[in-house]
């Protein structure tokens, strides 16, 4: 069989905005070319890795498949933009761009905070946050689910963890979207040109982080922003500024935008599969497996890039040191050799070995937070929704890394809170 694949559909943000994740192409690739040299327009070429087993293998060998050149796969234009001089973003270095052994030292700074036991303490607060957001829907009506709920609930949860006041939530939401949806004409930062936009965005992020950092250094509190501000390395020296600001960058942004896309993707799946929403309403204890299925189904973190530190042969393809590969989690999460009926949305799926939170060395630090807030929200929604239906065209973000809905209009009727 020959491959019938448009290479642009794998990586062009516009294609994700118009058609969503390219599942048909990935299905062909998993079957016929699981390590495929993709040569799109306006991007460098890369190896597309689409099978679950290969992605977990690669993720387990960080000394060969490196993160230190970044995890986003940039277009030729973006690569050019980054050459035009130091951007304020260069003053921040995140743990996701580090390799071991260094990565382990820096990950330890916050890993204690993110354990299930530590996050479990937030249970009551997160449940209350979910209830308040569902209350905003009123008894019946129409709204954009993204605007009213999906982007607000995880943002409030993260703000609580970080100790950020409600006044800063709007600013953080805007800056995060400008950073993570920088290709989307509706969400990107507007300026004279893209270089300028990136520089101004970096400066605003830096200003926010420096303000929080100075405050927490002067007035420590019981929150994650304080833990990061006062972090020490194993030898007792303070965490350097570059990595301290980098920690703020990844937690302040990845800490809510990813979950927002899981929640809107989950709602879109329930609108398409109302029987699954009814099941959850009748058996709220299914919320735990339902969240895993939502993350598998929506895979909001679409891929991670790795760069080869040496020549490697995989599935008969010889890849060279210095080349890039892109691991498509969203493809692995539909791998027919791992999941029975991979294209069925089943909230009680068991086992569910999805890798929506990644695998190995860089496994998502915030997975328990994401699970807790998504679970609380859908438990509340499913028990209160009497009926719900789409109320117009949904819209997808023009983005290839963090992917999902930018609008999801719904019409509904709710029962009062218990
Ligand atoms: C449904 C929501 C989320 C999804 C799908 C998601 C997904 C991911 C993925 C795929 C990775 C990379 C894993 C790898 O390379 O193997 C990652 C890393 C990371 N995530 Fe998440 N994430 C979510 C929510 C969160 C939240 C709520 C936080 C923080 C509060 C967070 C913080 C991080 C951090 C700090 C890393 C870097 C870890 C490292 O490099 O060691 N994420 N996430």
pLDDT tens for 255-298 read: 999 999 999 999 999 999 999 999 999 999 999 999 999 999 99
Asked if residues 300 and 356 have their Cβ atoms less than 8 Å apart, the reply is yes
SS3 273: coil
Asked if residues 47 and 317 have their Cβ atoms less than 8 Å apart, the reply is yes
Share of the chain above pLDDT 70, in %: 100
Q: Calculate Rg over the CA atoms of the chain.
A: 21
Atom of ligand 1 nearest to the CA of 374: 1
Given a cut of 90, is residue 118 above it in pLDDT? Answer: yes
**Residue 326's pLDDT band (cuts 50, 70, 90):** very high
Distance, CA 250 to ligand 1 centroid (Å)? 9
Distance, CA 406 to ligand 1 centroid (Å)? 20
Mean pLDDT value across the chain = 96
> Which residue is closest in CA terms to ligand 1's atom 2?
259
pLDDT tens for 84-100 read: 767 888 899 999 999 99
pLDDT tens for 390-404 read: 999 999 999 999 999
Token pair for residue 316? 């008969």
Whole-angstrom distance, CA of residue 69 vs CA of residue 85: 17
Length of the chain: 418
pLDDT the model gives residue 1 = 66
Cross-sheet strand order for the sheet of 385-390? 140-144, 409-414, 385-390
Atom of ligand 1 nearest to the CA of 67: 15
Q: CB 274: neighbour CB atoms within 10 A?
A: 13
Whole-angstrom distance, CA of residue 26 vs CA of residue 303: 12
Token pair for residue 216? 């927490």
Whole-angstrom distance, CA of residue 104 vs CA of residue 27: 35
Instruction: Say what the pTM is.
Output: 0.98
Number of H helices, E strands in the chain: 18, 12
Asked if residues 13 and 42 have their Cβ atoms less than 8 Å apart, the reply is no
Domains in the chain (CATH in brackets) are: 8-414 (1.10.630.10)
> Which residue is closest in CA terms to ligand 1's atom 19?
364
């Amino acid at each position: 069989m020959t491959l019938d694949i448009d290479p642009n559909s794998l990586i062009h943000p516009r294609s994700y905005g118009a058609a969503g994740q390219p599942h048909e192409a990935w299905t062909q690739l998993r079957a016929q070319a699981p390590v495929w040299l993709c040569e799109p327009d306006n991007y460098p070429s890369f190896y597309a890795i689409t099978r679950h087993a290969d992605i977990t293998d690669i993720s387990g060998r960080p000394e060969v498949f490196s993160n230190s050149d970044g995890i986003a796969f940039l277009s030729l234009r973006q690569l050019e933009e980054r050459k035009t001089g130091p951007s304020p973003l260069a003053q921040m270095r995140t743990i996701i761009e580090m390799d071991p052994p260094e990565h382990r030292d820096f990950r330890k700074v916050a890993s204690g905070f993110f354990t299930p036991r530590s996050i479990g303490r937030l249970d009551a607060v997160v449940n209350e946050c979910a209830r308040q957001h569902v209350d905003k829907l009123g008894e019946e009506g129409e709204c954009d689910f993204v605007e009213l709920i999906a982007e607000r609930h995880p943002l409030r949860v993260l703000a609580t963890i970080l100790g950020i006041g409600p006044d800063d939530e709007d600013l953080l939401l805007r800056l995060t979207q400008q950073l993570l949806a920088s290709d989307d004409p509706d969400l990107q930062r507007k300026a004279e040109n893209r270089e300028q936009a990136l520089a101004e965005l970096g400066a605003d992020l830096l200003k926010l982080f420096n303000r929080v950092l100075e405050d927490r250094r002067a007035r420590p509190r019981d929150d994650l922003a304080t833990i990061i501000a006062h972090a020490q390395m194993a030898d007792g020296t303070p965490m350097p500024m570059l990595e301290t600001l980098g920690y703020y960058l990844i937690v302040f942004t990845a800490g809510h935008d990813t979950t927002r896309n899981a929640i809107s993707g989950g709602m879109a799946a329930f609108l398409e599969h109302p029987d699954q929403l009814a099941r959850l309403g009748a058996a709220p204890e299914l919320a735990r497996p339902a969240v895993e299925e939502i993350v598998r189904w929506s895979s909001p973190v679409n891929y991670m890039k790795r760069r080869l530190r040496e020549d490697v042969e995989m599935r008969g393809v010889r890849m060279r040191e210095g080349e890039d590969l892109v691991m498509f989690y969203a493809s692995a999460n539909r791998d027919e050799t791992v999941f029975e009926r991979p294209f069925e949305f089943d909230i009680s799926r068991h086992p569910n070995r999805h890798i929506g939170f990644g695998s190995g060395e860089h496994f998502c630090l915030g997975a328990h937070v994401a699970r807790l807030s998504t679970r609380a929200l859908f438990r509340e929604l499913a028990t209160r929704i009497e009926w719900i239906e789409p109320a117009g065209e949904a819209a997808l973000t023009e983005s290839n890394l963090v992917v999902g809905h930018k609008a999801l209009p719904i019409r509904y009727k709710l029962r009062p809170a218990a």
